Amino acid sequence: MVDWSPFFISMKTASLSIVITFFLGLIIAWGIVKLKNDSLKIILDGIFTLPLVLPPTVVGFFLLYLIGVKGPIGSFFIEFFAIKIAFSWPATVIAAVVMSFPLMYRSARGAFEQVDPNLLDAGRTLGMSEWKIFWKVLFANALPGIISGGILAYARGLGEFGASLMIAGNIAGRTRTLPMAVYSDVAAGNMGNAIDYVLIIVFIAFIAIFIMDFISIRKEKQWRY
C-alpha cells in the first residue's frame, strides 16, 4: 500500500519553496540588472548561480555546515530559540529554495535584460517610482520568461534529493519527500511502490508545466493583439 505522506510533504515543500524562490529570484535579478559595477556583477552572479553547477551533495554539505547542530546558524537557533533546523521539515524547504533559486534567478535576469530600456526611461519621465516601474513595466514585459523560470524552479524544488538528504535526512512522515520515497523503496526492493511514486512525480510536473505554459502562451497572444 502506498504511503501518501511523501506526497503531502513534497507538495508542502515545493509550494512554500517556489513562493520564496519566486520573489527572492525576482528581487535579486532586478538588483543585479541595475548594478553598474561589472566586476561585482560577475562575482555576485557566480555566487547566485553556483548551486546550479555544484553537485547537490556538495551544496548539502555547505548547508549542513551552516545550519547543522554545530553550525553557526544552526547553533544560534538552538541556543536562542530552541529550534533545531537540520533534519526537520524546514530543512527540506531550505534545500529546495537553494537548489531551485539559480533557475528562477537566471530566467528572471535574462527576461529583464530583454526588456527595452527605453520603456523604463519612459516610465521615469512620467514620474513613476522605481517600484512602480518594476511591476508595471519591467515585470509585465518580462512575464513569459519569469513564468518559465517559475516552471523550472518549481520542478527543481519538487525533485530535489541530494541536498535534502544531506540536511533533512530521510525520515518517514517528517522529511521523506517523493524522490526520497522512490530511493527508499527501490533500495528495499519495493518496485511497485517506487513506480507509483514516480508516476505521481511525473503527473505533478506535467500538470505544473501545462498550466504555466498555458498562462505564458495566453499572455503572449494578448500582447500581440
| Grid cell at residue 137 | 513595466
Higher pLDDT, residue 151 or 97? 97
Question: How high does pLDDT run on average in the chain?
Answer: 89
Q: In the predicted model, what is the mean pLDDT of residues 47-66? A: 93
> Is residue 225 scored above 60 in pLDDT?
no
> Is residue 197 scored above 80 in pLDDT?
yes
pTM above 0.85?
yes
Q: What pLDDT does 219 receive? A: 66
Q: What pLDDT does 3 receive? A: 84
72-76, 177-181, 221-225: segment of lowest average pLDDT? 221-225
> Is residue 221 scored above 90 in pLDDT?
no
- Give the integer Cα–Cα distance in Å for 167 and 179: 15
> Is residue 1 scored above 80 in pLDDT?
no
DSSP character for 173?
T
- Give the integer Cα–Cα distance in Å for 132 and 113: 18
Q: What pLDDT does 91 receive? A: 94
Higher pLDDT, residue 68 or 225? 68
Instruction: Tell me the fold of 5-61+88-115+141-224.
Output: MetI-like fold (1.10.3720)
Q: What pLDDT does 180 receive? A: 94
> Is residue 118 scored above 70 in pLDDT?
yes
Q: Are 168 and 9 in contact (CB under 8 A)?
A: no
> Is residue 215 scored above 80 in pLDDT?
no
Q: What pLDDT does 126 receive? A: 85
- Give the integer Cα–Cα distance in Å for 86 and 76: 12
> Is residue 223 scored above 60 in pLDDT?
no
Extents of the domains making up the chain? 5-61+88-115+141-224
Identify the band that residue 81 occupies on the pLDDT scale cut at 50, 70 and 90: confident
Task: Return the exposure string of 109-131: e unless at least 16 CB atoms fall within 10 Å of the residue's CB, then b.
Answer: bbbbeebeeeebeebeeeebeee
- Give the integer Cα–Cα distance in Å for 10 and 86: 17
**Residue written as cell 553547477?**
53
For residue 5, what are the CA distances in angstroms to 59, 95, 204?
26, 19, 15
Write out pLDDT tens, residues 154-174.
Answer: 989 998 999 999 999 999 989
> Is residue 106 scored above 60 in pLDDT?
yes
Write out pLDDT tens, residues 8-45.
Answer: 999 999 999 999 999 999 999 999 998 988 899 999 99
Q: What pLDDT does 104 receive? A: 95
Portion of the chain with pLDDT greater than 70, in percent: 96
